[in-house]
Structure 1
Amino acid sequence: MAIPNEKLQQLLQEISSKAAFAEQQLGIVRGQMAQKHRESRMLQLSATELEALPKDTPVYDGVGKMFVLTTTDGIKQRQGKEAEDIKTEMANLEKKMHYLDTTFKNSQEHLQQILQRGG
């Protein structure tokens, strides 16, 4: 069963654009994952520094353009919540990356199949 040239060209263009979009989105997701990894590392480093401080040390937390005196426990609690949020976001980004990677690979395979049949 032969596909007319116009339909074949339209199909190839559609699959190519889908592959290009998936590849572009993969780059964006990888950048977002790298950013979340950096944020996670910063939280780990600051948590390590907080552990080294005595319990009664005055600690300031940044709120917008000012700093507020708070306890080390309050900072640890906030950082724990932030760490959980980052883990959740990383899991979602990994799912998105897997989906986009699968879409890209499938598009490439379809293009190869069409070109092999057409050629």
Structure 2
Amino acid sequence: MRQRAQSRGSRPRSARGWKRRGIGRILAEHVAGRWPLPRWVIPTPLAILACPFAGVPLPFARRNLGYPLAFSSERAREGLGLALRPVETTLAEHFDQLVEQRAFDRA
């Protein structure tokens, strides 16, 4: 019987590492003016202060905003031998799926 490689915890997977600003650049290139996307990164303290006006409870905002976000597929590729698709393709298809499902408005 063939042994399966053991995963050490659940983690997001993509073909290369990427960060939050990179996600924005990828989506901006994909939508190319068809959708209004944010152009700036709001400082965390300002975002926390704005949350109550957007209907987000302040305690939730304080617990969840301001953490650095970075993903890497190194452990999946090396430890499990996975071949992953490019993150650009994944993000573009996910964005298109959200548009099809009418998950947000053009506002």
TM-score clears 0.5: no
Q: Give the strand-richer structure, 1 or 2.
A: 1
- What is the TM-score normalised by the length of structure 2? 0.23
The structure with more radius of gyration? 1
Q: Which structure's relative contact order is higher, taking Cα pairs within 8 Å and 6+ residues apart? A: 2
- What is the TM-score normalised by the length of structure 1? 0.21
